[in-house]
Amino acid sequence: MARAETRLADRSGARRRAAVLGCLLLTGALALTGCSPHSSKPGGKDVASGSGTARSSTSVPSGVATASGSAGPVTAASLSDPKLGYTVTTIPAGLDVSQVEILKDFVAYDQMSWRLWVSGGQDTGQLSTVATGNLQQQLTNDAAGMKSKGEKARTPVRVAVSEVAMSADGQSATVSYCVDMTKVTYVDTQGKDVTEPSIQAQIPARNTMVPGSNGRWLASEEEETGEPNSCSVG
């Protein structure tokens, strides 16, 4: 989404995020922040999907992930943040309660990372509530680099989530998605557009989520899973 996340994880320079996201992410964006193409992706790993895998996605922004129990229904619209310029266009259908919570915590992470890039790398104090491990540290480093250069990202960004898959042991999960940064731009301290054309693409990506001590799921890894423009947000 951590969210500037350069390409997904370098959106700062995306997420993308990356800025988007951290630094979530793109080659040109990486150049802006001084990140390597995989700086915010410390070697993503595949998580074996069990019976909890979401099998299909809704095709319209108003799609609902209906979950039994206290989690309640979640819609693409309810996960979006118009003020941030962050729109969720698609979410999986038929999620169970645990998958809904993972989806919500992934979006919380992705949005926080984008807020970092939009603010120019300001205020990383809350990153520990949405990210952990190497990804948290990379986002912190990328935000510092962006802040020192006085660069900021400008949204809108759109995200289509295609799958939420729980590992067999329930100790990790993956969220697969496509992030549309075709309209994301970057400006310097004078407001001059310094956007690298290569970041303006739709990028397929996947985040690994792990349980945190506070009962929430935290983003621990982020990786691109295909070539730019090999996916679509619809």
Gap between the Cα atoms of 226 and 184, Å rounded: 20
Encoded tokens for 145: 């680099």
Residue 64 has pLDDT above 60, yes or no: no
Domains and CATH numbers, the chain: 27-224 (3.10.450.50)
Gap between the Cα atoms of 152 and 20, Å rounded: 11
Which stretch of DSSP H or E encloses residue 108? helix 97-118
For residues 19 and 129, the answer to whether their CB atoms sit within 8 Å is no
Residue 24 has pLDDT above 90, yes or no: no
The pTM assigned to this predicted structure is: 0.76
Q: What is the dihedral sign for C-alpha 143, 144, 145, 146?
A: positive
Among residues 37, 44, 1, which one has the least CA distance to residue 21?
Answer: 1
Residue 233 has pLDDT above 80, yes or no: yes
Which stretch of DSSP H or E encloses residue 74? strand 74-75
Residue 136 has pLDDT above 60, yes or no: yes
Please state, rounded to an integer, the average pLDDT across all residues of the chain.
Answer: 78
* Interacting residues of 64 by C-beta distance below 8 A, sequence separation 6+: 58, 73, 74, 75, 93
Q: What is the mean pLDDT of residues 189-195?
A: 94
Q: What is the dihedral sign for C-alpha 179, 10, 80, 55?
A: positive
Strands (E), 83-231: 86-90, 92-93, 152-154, 157-166, 173-180, 185-187, 202-211, 217-224
Residue 190 has pLDDT above 60, yes or no: yes
Dihedral angle, C-alpha 35, 81, 197, 38, nearest 10 °? 30
